[in-house]
Amino acid sequence: MKISIIGIGLIGGSIALKLKRKGIATYIYGIDNSEQHLNEGLDLHIIDEKTTLGDGIKNSDLIIIAVPVNATKVLLPKVLDLVNDNQTVMDCGSTKSGIVNAVKDHPKRSRYIAFHPMWGTENNGPKSAVAESFSGKAGVICNKEESAEDALALAENIVQALDMHPIYMNAEDHDIHTAYISHISHITSYALANTVLEKEREEETIFQLASSGFSSTVRLAKSHPEMWVPIFKQNKENVLDVLNEHISQLRKFKSALEKENYEYLGELISNANRIREILDK
């Protein structure tokens, strides 16, 4: 199958590598605003050819959009304008409602699959791409009833080829769940980094003392604003809802400490420990 990938970065690059390894992708067209990313994509054998949006789409069975969610919202209708009923379009955005709504009345809506592979790192660019990134993770498909049967079947093959397990939900539920499980983690991590940078003026000390625990908690704070501001913008209400809850949970720790109520502090921690059973089951 010939595939166009729009956005040769961490996600687009990782998908390309995996679909080539699995033999699903016979030829990959790379489309990107960044000439550097395209050239790196060629050097790393992520793509076979760099091309324009029009030429890429014309020659492909499948078009995968892997750019920030604000760009996806603008780009997706234009891509759908160019496809015929034998072509399929998938995006990879971390928000789904805004994107799905942007094309809900598009005459080619049924050729589009709203997709979210639940994997990412704090890094970006094709050099960060790893073929096995997605293995064992969830591949969420939203509003599948709005897609044509053959387009859905093709997308399901792609999810399987990525070694992901498919999960189906509607776009609104997706955005609520990802606010809890992914978006708030980033805000927490950013705020933690800013806390430490604000309070710990001795950067050398941060570097010297930083343990694996700190590095792990603050890892997501390395993620770029170009990707994350649009996600928070598109999922504003859900993110605010969870952020308010998070601040109130932190206040419980503050209150327990201020009142020296260490029994309550222990209860808060024991409750948090339940996350182990859920994540490790």
**Window 65 to 124, contacts with a second copy (CB under 8 A):** 118-122
Residues 6+ apart with CB under 8 A from 31: 4, 5, 6, 7, 8, 50, 51, 52, 53, 56
Question: Is residue 135 within the footprint of a second copy (CB under 8 A)?
Answer: no
Q: How far is the CB of 211 from a second copy (least distance, A)?
A: 4
Closest approach, Cβ 263 to a second copy, in A, equals: 9
We find the least distance from the C-beta atom of residue 66 to a second copy, in angstroms, to be 16
Whole-angstrom distance, CA of residue 226 vs CA of residue 94: 13
Contacts with a second copy by CB under 8 A: the residue count is: 93
168 binds a second copy (CB under 8 A): no
Pick 84 or 208: Cβ nearer a second copy: 208
Residue of the chain from 59, 128, 160, 217 that contacts a second copy (CB under 8 A) = 217
- Please give the backbone phi and psi of residue 116, each rounded to the nearest 5 degrees, phi first: -140, 100
Stretch that binds a second copy, among 16-24, 55-63, 147-155, 232-240 (CB under 8 A): 232-240
Closest-CA residue to 113 (of 78, 156, 164): 156
Site for a second copy contains 195 (CB under 8 A): yes
Which C-beta is closer to a second copy: that of 76 or that of 140? 140
Closest CA relative to residue 11, chosen from 99, 134, 98, 139: 134
Query: Considering the rule CB under 8 A, would residue 153 count as an interface residue with a second copy?
Result: no
In 10 A of CB 206, how many CB atoms? 15
Interface region with a second copy, contact rule CB under 8 A, candidates 53-61, 75-83, 99-107, 269-277 = 269-277
- Residues 75 and 91: their CA atoms lie apart, in Å, by 10
- 158's tokens: 């792609």
**Residue 263 — φ and ψ, nearest 5°?**
-70, -45
165 phi and psi, to 5 degrees? -100, 130
When asked if residue 42 is in the footprint of a second copy (CB under 8 A), the reply is no
Stretch touching a second copy by CB under 8 A, among 55-63, 96-104, 124-132, 244-252: 244-252
Instruction: Determine, following the binding rule CB under 8 A, whether residue 127 of this chain makes contact with a second copy.
Output: no
